[in-house]
A and B are shown apart, each in its own frame.
Chain A
Amino acid sequence: MAQSTADVVAANDVVTDLVSDWSAEKEVFKVHWGKAMMWIFLLSDTFIFTSFLTGYMKVRISSTVPWPNSSEIFALSFGGDPIPLILIAIMTFVLITSSGTMALAVNYGYRKDRMKAAVLLLITAGFGLMFVGMQAFEWTKLIVDEGVRPWGNPFGAAQFGASFFMITGFHGLHVSGGVIYLTYVAVGVLNGRYEKKGYDIIEIAGLYWHFVDLVWVFIFAFFYLW
């Protein structure tokens, strides 16, 4: 009996806390305003990628021509038999690794270890550049060697090329933008631009970067693995 009363009280506390947090004066979320703004932006951006992927799935299932086999198209051979999706696997690995270095940069930023934070930010941006570079290689291979075009390809449904270039292109633009953003923040960290304002900016940039990684996981699952 005593136990259950405590549970009820605890549950009430949760509700009360939630209500008072949300209806408190000054601010709704007890975080830096820039972070709140970034979260809202990412929510909006989620809807963009959701619309892209939903549109892609719709044209894929309604296509009258068979869909090309992505594990064959995205295979690379290093002397021997072609290995399916190997390039995509490396790209994914690079991008996920960059999330790790990003998280470390946030940590060193809050410790005000400017040198380490800036170096880790630049490493993260470097991984991003590697990713975009491999993407450029992949696009070149598809366009030049295999003759895939936005309006058609030799393997099957024309929407394959259209969706591929549109979705990976839009994601690649996000990564490129992120590289510029991270470099800008890294230079600022080195200059001491954020000494007074605080180092929340690294975490905010990190939110964006992790989001771009997460979107890639969905593109990987829905475009390459399906």
Chain B
Amino acid sequence: MAHVALADKEQELAHPKTWIGMYVWSQDHKIIGIQYIITATAVGVIALILSGLMRLQLGYPGVFDFIQPDEYYQAVTMHGMIMIVFMLTAFFLGGFGNVLVPLMCGARDMAFPYMNMLSYWVYLLSVIVVCASFFVPEGPTGAGWTLYPPQAITEGTAGADWGIICMTVSLGLFVVAFTMGGLNYVTTAFQARTRGMTLMRMPLSVWGIIMATILGLLAFPALLVSVIMMTLDKTLETSFFMPAISSLGENLSHEGGSPILFQHLFWFFGHPEVYIVALPAFGIVSDLISTHARKNIFGYRMMVWAIVAIGGLSFIVWAHHMYVSGMNPYFGFFFATTTLIIAVPTAIKVYNWVLTLWRGNIHLTVPMLFAIGFIFTFIHGGITGLFLGNVVVDVPLSDTYFVVGHFHMVMGVSPFLVVFGGIYHWFPLLTGRMLNDTMGKIHFWVTFLGTYAIYLPMHYIGILGVPRRYYANGTTEFLPDSVQSANVSITIAALVVAAAQFLFLINIFWSIFKGRKSARNPWRATTLEWQTADYPPKHGNWGKELPVVYRWAYSYSVPGAKEDFIPQTETPSRYTKGEGDV
């Protein structure tokens, strides 16, 4: 059937006149993105406070009466789940994805703005349900963020009655919200690009975000199915995951279920989830490094293919989370191999970032500091990942603080540094004002150095054998006293870093009202989002005509050009033929 491309026809956009229509029930992708960012930040602060409570207990066991074992496990669980799903996934895809994809592709809005709006409101509902679990009888679930059955739904675990149901319901709602948003991001990037914007001219941010969205669309179904089965096991006493089991001296009615099935389903979601968080970070950090080093990204094509390859491989590595689960050892062999193979495209990306910096004109702006910090923490977390990918090394290190240090480095701190870098970079685009530089630099150095003060000792106490998820270590023969000193120092560092995050929030509030007015395109970037009709862009983004793209997104320091950057929309005639094109 003949049809007209979305870029060639007038897209009908809702232009409400009321304040509520413009800023609350908004269908504008930028407003929806900001709504996602605010909500995700709010739950992120809750999760940050929970981590502070855990650190207080670990650093000073028994000193704080209000942290009992149940509360400790609840804090562990809610911190993990909120940070990974409700904060980072929502922030990168709902926040950055919404704001950047249409702007960077040259679209007026998402392909389906109404569904995009619904996506946010269902996400907000899921956040409300998960936060409601703090107020139900017995509080939220304390099963650990992985929610492994049988313990997640048997008596004796905190929140085994109400908390776990709040959690599964809210995860189900999140999947629905993500699907509605994710379909929009992918369809917009695929079908609604402007004239001249080929796939191989798209900024890497868009590549990272859409690849992560595709992973989400294929991985979240497994999470949805596992939480449906778990809800049925809890409420209707089915036995999908529950073997014959006696709990607190009483035989339960379950029999014949398979707890390992839950682990497979969960990690079939859980491992791609790591890359759902990492791939947008990869993309955004590539753009930050290229822009602030005034140099084209090294090996653009390979960067794209590495994103695609990592995305594909991430679906066949899930069981490396299950080496000690009792599954067939040959499985471990297969999954160790695929896990180590994924290091190849990842290494390509790291080398290309470093080679982009090499002899670049590096401006140590705040976004650039965070981008360079990301390279450090990511290499660090990636290399400890190689340890844990090998079965024989993983088995003794399983469930120790080494694992905690590893994944916080690679998928906790690293994506967060990119979130911060992205905010410092795109804050002027959305508000027309710059964030305060001094506060930004204090925020960076405390966070970056504090990260090492927190997580390096964790690797060490992990190798000593300190198990994770323990309320208190008690007295053991194999742990030296220095472990407790390390825990105290980690706690102090963690509290300092947490305080720095509040400085960052103060910076944002202060700058929204009092920040220095930013010039148009303050970072002198080439990409489309800085070339909008109005600055900051209004609903509809572009003027009468959509922009036309003539080159890739990385024409920095082109020899013979008047300035050290050439916007993607600049007509070629002003420069020598063929400059800066792919």
- Whether A associates with B in a native complex is yes
**Is the beta-carbon distance between A37 and B3 smaller than 8 angstroms?**
no
Interface string of A15-54 (1 = CB under 8 A from B): 0000000111111111111101100110111011011100
Shortest Cβ distance from A106 into chain B, in angstroms?
10
| Stretch with Cβ within 8 A of A (4 or more), from B156-164, B188-196, B328-336, B344-352 | B188-196
Nearest chain-A residue to B218 (Cβ)? A47
Contacting residues, chain B, for A50 (C-beta < 8 A): 221
Number of A-B contacts (CB under 8 A): 147
User: What is B's interface to A at a CB cutoff of 8 Å?
Assistant: 1, 3, 5-8, 111-112, 179, 183-184, 186-187, 190-200, 217-222, 224-226, 228-229, 232, 236-240, 253, 255-258, 261, 264-265, 268, 549
| Structural contact, B7 and A159, CB atoms closer than 8 A | no
Q: Apart from A25-B549, A47-B219, A159-B238, what 7 extra A-B contacts exist at CB < 8 Å?
A: A26-B6, A26-B194, A34-B112, A40-B183, A65-B255, A159-B240, A162-B232
From A41, A43, A51, give the contact of B265 (CB < 8 A).
A51
The A44-82 residues at the B interface (CB cut-off 8 A) are 44-45, 47-48, 50-52, 55, 58-59, 62-65
| Cross-chain contact of B221 among A23, A32, A51 (Cβ < 8 A) | A51
Stretch from A123-131, A150-158, A178-186, A214-222 forming part of the interface with B: A150-158
CA distance A159 to B218 in the complex (A): 26
Bound Cα distance from A94 to B114, whole angstroms = 34
- Count A-side interface residues using an 8 Å CB cutoff: 45
Beta-carbon contact of A47 and B221 below 8 Å:
yes
Question: Which of B190, B195, B197, B236 is within 8 Å of A151, CB to CB?
Answer: B236
* Residue on B nearest A48 in the bound complex, by CB: B221
Partner of A51, one of B8, B183, B225: B225
The answer to whether B238 and A150 have CB atoms under 8 Å apart is yes
A166 and B232 within 8 A (CB)? yes
Considering the complex, give the chain A residue whose CB is closest to the CB of B188.
A33
Contact of A40 among B8, B187, B549 (CB under 8 A): B187
Would you call A33 and B191 a contact (CB within 8 A)? Answer: yes
Residues of B within 8 A of A26 (CB): 5-8, 191-195, 197
Residues of chain B contacted by A30 (CB below 8 angstroms): 3
B197: chain A residues within 8 A (beta carbon): 25-26
Majority DSSP secondary structure for residues of B touching A: helix
Within 8 Å CB of B224, what residues of A?
48, 51
Q: How far is the CA of A26 from the CA of B222 in the complex (A)?
A: 33
Identity of the chain A residue whose Cβ is nearest the Cβ of B223 in the assembled complex: A51
Answer whether residue A147 sits at the interface, using C-beta atoms and an 8 A cutoff: no
Does A198 reach chain B (CB closer than 8 Å)? yes
Question: How close is A162's CB to chain B, nearest CB, in angstroms?
Answer: 4
B256 engages A158 (CB within 8 Å): yes
Looking at the assembled complex, report how far the CB atom of B465 sits from the nearest CB atom of chain A, in whole angstroms: 34
CB < 8 Å neighbour of A48 from B193, B200, B225, B239: B225
Q: A150 CA to B198 CA in the complex, in Å? A: 52
Interfacial chain A residues near B222, Cβ < 8 Å: 47, 51
A93 interfacial contact with B, CB 8 Å: no
| Known A26-B193, A48-B221, A55-B229; contact A110-B1, beta-carbon cutoff 8 A | yes
Contact sample, A vs B, 24 pairs, CB 8 Å cutoff: A24-B198, A25-B195, A26-B193, A27-B6, A29-B190, A33-B191, A43-B217, A44-B217, A44-B220, A47-B217, A47-B219, A51-B224, A51-B225, A59-B240, A64-B255, A110-B1, A151-B236, A151-B237, A158-B238, A158-B256, A159-B239, A159-B240, A162-B232, A203-B1
Given A40-B217, A47-B222, A162-B240: A33 and B111 interface contact (C-beta under 8 Å): yes
Give Cα A44 to B225, complex, Å: 12
Which of B193, B225, B265 has a CB less than 8 Å from the CB of A27?
B193
The residues of B that contact A59 with a CB separation of less than 8 Å are: 239-240, 256-258, 261
Chain A residue with Cβ nearest B222: A51
Q: Compute how far the CA of A37 lies from the CA of B182 in the bound complex, rounded to whole angstroms.
A: 10
Hey, what's the 0/1 contact readout for A159-196 against B, CB within 8 Å counting as 1?
10110001000100000000000000000000000000
The 3 A-B residue pairs whose C-beta atoms are closest, nearest first, are: A162-B238, A47-B221, A51-B225
Q: A157 contacts B179, CB within 8 Å? A: no
CB of A42, distance to nearest CB on chain B (Å): 11
Q: Which residues of A contact B549 (CB under 8 A)?
A: 25
User: What's the minimum C-beta distance from B327 to chain A, rounded to whole angstroms?
Assistant: 12
How would you classify the secondary structure of chain A's contact residues: helix, strand, loop or mixed?
Answer: helix
Complex contact B256–A157 (CB within 8 A): yes
A27-B258 in contact given A41-B179, A45-B221 (Cβ < 8 Å): no
Q: Which B residues touch A52, using CB under 8 A? A: 225
Of residues B194, B196, B232, which shows the largest number of chain A Cβ atoms within 10 Å of its Cβ? B232
Q: B187: which A residues are within 8 A, CB to CB?
A: 33, 36-37, 40
Chain B contacts for A158, CB-based, 8 A:
238-239, 255-256
* Complex CA distance for A59 and B255, rounded to whole angstroms: 11
B residues near A25, Cβ cutoff 8 Å: 7, 193-198, 549
Q: Which residues of A contact B221 (CB under 8 A)?
A: 44-45, 47-48, 50-51
- Residues of chain B within 8 A (CB-CB) of A48 are 221, 224-225
Annotate A85-101 by CB proximity to B: 1 below 8 A, 0 otherwise.
00000000000000000
Report the minimum CB–CB distance from A205 to chain B (whole Å). Answer: 15
Q: Which of B192, B229, B237, B256 sits near A65, CB closer than 8 Å? A: B256
Bound CA–CA A33/B209 (angstroms): 19
Task: Give CA–CA (A158, B240) in the complex, Å.
Answer: 9
In the complex the two chains form, is A23's CB within 8 Å of B198's CB? yes
B113 to chain A minimum Cβ distance, whole angstroms, is 12
Asked if residues A200 and B225 are in contact (CB atoms below 8 Å), the reply is no
In contact, B5 and A64 (Cβ under 8 angstroms): no
Give the residue name and chain of the B residue nearest to A166 (CB): B232
Q: Nearest Cβ distance between residue A32 and chain B, in whole angstroms?
A: 5
* A27 and B199 form a contact (CB under 8 A): no
Q: Which residues of A contact B228 (CB under 8 A)?
A: 166, 170
- Are A55 and B255 closer than 8 Å at their CB atoms? no
Name B256's contact: one of A28, A29, A34, A63 (CB within 8 Å): A63
The CA of A33 and the CA of B218, in the complex, are separated in Å by: 20
Q: Is the CB of A37 within 8 A of B198?
A: no
Q: Considering only CB atoms, which chain A residue lies closest to B196 in the complex? A: A25
CA of A64 to CA of B244, assembled, Å = 10
Contact A151 B255 (CB under 8 A): no
Q: Which residues of B contact A162 (CB under 8 A)?
A: 232, 236, 238-240
Task: State A34–B549 Cα separation when bound (angstroms).
Answer: 25
A23 close to B255 (CB less than 8 A):
no
Q: Nearest chain B CB to A117's CB is how many angstroms away?
A: 15
Q: How far, in angstroms, from A47 to B175 measured CA to CA in the complex?
A: 13
| Also in contact, A62 and B179, with CB within 8 A (given A24-B198, A28-B199) | no
Q: How far is the CB of B424 from chain A (nearest CB, A)?
A: 32
What residues of A have a CB within 8 angstroms of the CB of B196 in the complex?
25
- CA of A200 to CA of B4 in the docked complex: distance in angstroms? 12
The reply to whether B191 and A29 contact each other, CB–CB distance below 8 Å, is: yes
Which of chain B's residues has its CB closest to A162's CB?
A: B238
Cβ contact within 8 Å between A27 and B238: no
| Given known contacts A40-B217, A52-B225, A64-B255, A58 and B193 CB-to-CB distance under 8 angstroms | no
Which residues from chain B contact A29 at a C-beta distance below 8 Å?
190-191
Q: How far apart are A147's CB and chain B's nearest CB, in angstroms?
A: 15
* Inter-subunit contact B200/A23 (CB<8 Å): yes
Task: Give A44 to B178 CA distance when docked, in angstroms.
Answer: 12
